[in-house]
Amino acid sequence: MTMKAKIIKAIVRYIAAQILCLFVNIMLAALGHGIVRALCLVCTAAVLVCVMADLGIKEAAADLKRERISGERVPFAEMICAAAAVTLFPAVNRIVLLVSALGGGFEFYGIFKLLEPSFLQLYNYIEPSACSADLSAAELAAVMPAAAVPALALLLSYTAARKNNNGKR
């Protein structure tokens, strides 16, 4: 499998996870606030992490198989590129949010929440408003780390699965 195929797989999985998270958020939104929101956050974040981790585990197994057949080591850079690809969309969303919050002349926070439904409830806890202007510098900073979650889930699971399966060869 080529690097391009890994990147495409990672992006498709990321988008599928986000669509599923949006569905979960919509279904649980009618149930109210408080503990349901916290449960929804845990569920949607877990969906994203599990979908990306599943891909990492499957790619590690495929790479080990490919190495056994070809005898050549599969470059770790392939997974780094796939991880970067799933971080690109959240990073761009955060840049647009930052421009919007700093007076860019357009509202983006409400759209931002919908574009990243895996952490929608976290963003509602950080700032319940849908207005970018309502975000403080601390709230903007609190939104930033979630962009790394898909890539970390992918890379950590890939690395762990390679280590685990490499010892079984």
Give the C-alpha separation, 148 to 73, whole Å: 27
Biggest CA–CA distance in the chain, Å, is 58
Contact between 154 and 10 under an 8 Å Cβ cutoff? The reply is yes
pLDDT, one tens digit per residue, over 13-69 is 999 999 999 998 888 776 767 788 888 889 999 999 999 999 999 999 999 998 999
Give the C-alpha separation, 153 to 92, whole Å: 19
The pTM score is 0.89
DSSP 117: G
Contact between 165 and 68 under an 8 Å Cβ cutoff? The reply is no
pLDDT, one tens digit per residue, over 108-142 is 999 999 999 999 999 988 998 889 989 999 999 99
**Integer angstrom CA distances of residue 8 from 78, 97, 105, 119:** 12, 25, 34, 23
Give the C-alpha separation, 37 to 31, whole Å: 9
Confidence of residue 1 (pLDDT cuts 50, 70, 90): low
